[in-house]
Each structure stands twice: as structure tokens, then as C-alpha cells.
Amino acid sequence: MDATEVQHCRIVDAFKLERGRITRDTETESLKELLHPILVNLETGVIKVGAAGAPVAWGIVQQGEAGWDFVAVRSEPGNTVLSTIRIRTWEEPLQMVMIVNGFTFATGICEPLRDEELAAGVAGTQPS
């Protein structure tokens, strides 16, 4: 697996929408800490959210390529979309936005995992 396929995303900001305005509070600050870091396998759609999170296969909606973002969704039974992640793979640095439960957002910067992290099978991001 090429290191560029697995991205380590550092959460830079978290906020929610209330009455159409961006709001930051203790809840969004806690969410920022809870979500960090996010590891994304761009090939398989396996995503690990947070240091204590388990790797989960998300549904890839769109592959990232020149001018197009990588987009994946986490759904529950009945196709209820709980979370969406977009990574702008065609820009430097790679930017990420995650939408959680519809109106809470986390933004960040992603960079490839190092080869030694991949060799160790970091976060179950390698295919089984």
C-alpha cells in the first residue's frame, strides 16, 4: 500500500450551527479533542476517528482526483447518514471537513502516514 492512500488528519477547528451562525463552545471543544486524529484509507474507505476509536468501513461516495474531493459517508440501518467526510486530495495541504450529525463540523489538515507507521499496521487502516 502506498503511503499516500492512508491520511493522518489533524483536527484544527470544530464548530456547530445554531440559528444559522457558527458557534463554538465547550461541546465543540470536547468534540475537537474526541475526534483527533482521524485516519483515512483513501483506497478502502476504512476510517478511524479519534485515538480510542475503532477502524470502521465507511461508504465511499466519490474518489478523490484532480478537481474532485474524496467523499465518504457513515450510515446506519435505513440509510440514515450520521457523518460525512470530505478530503480535498487535489490541494496542498490536503484539507478535510467532517460533518457529524448534520450540524456539527470539524475541519483539519491531512498528510500521508509514514511508511514505518504503515508497516506497523497503524489503526487497522490496512486491508485484511
| Residue 125 covered by a domain | no
Short-list 83, 82, 111, CA closest to 95: 111
Instruction: Tell me how many domains the chain contains.
Output: 1
What is the mean pLDDT of the segment spanning 44-53? 92
| Residue 21 covered by a domain | yes
Query: Position of cell 483515512?
Result: 40
> Whole domain around residue 16: which residue ranges?
3-120
| Residue 50 covered by a domain | yes
CA distance 7 to 48: 10
pLDDT band at 24 (very low <50, low <70, confident <90, very high): very high
| Residue 114 covered by a domain | yes
pLDDT band at 1 (very low <50, low <70, confident <90, very high): very low
| Residue 35 covered by a domain | yes
Beta strands in the chain (DSSP E): 6-18, 21-23, 38-41, 46-49, 56-57, 59-62, 70-76, 80-88, 94-100, 104-112
Instruction: Return the pLDDT at 119.
Output: 47
Pull the grid cell for residue 83.
457523518
| Residue 128 covered by a domain | no
Residue 128 has pLDDT above 60, yes or no: no
| Residue 127 covered by a domain | no
List pLDDT tens digits, range 58-94: 999 998 877 889 999 988 776 666 789 999 998 889 9
Provide the residue type at 34 as one letter: L
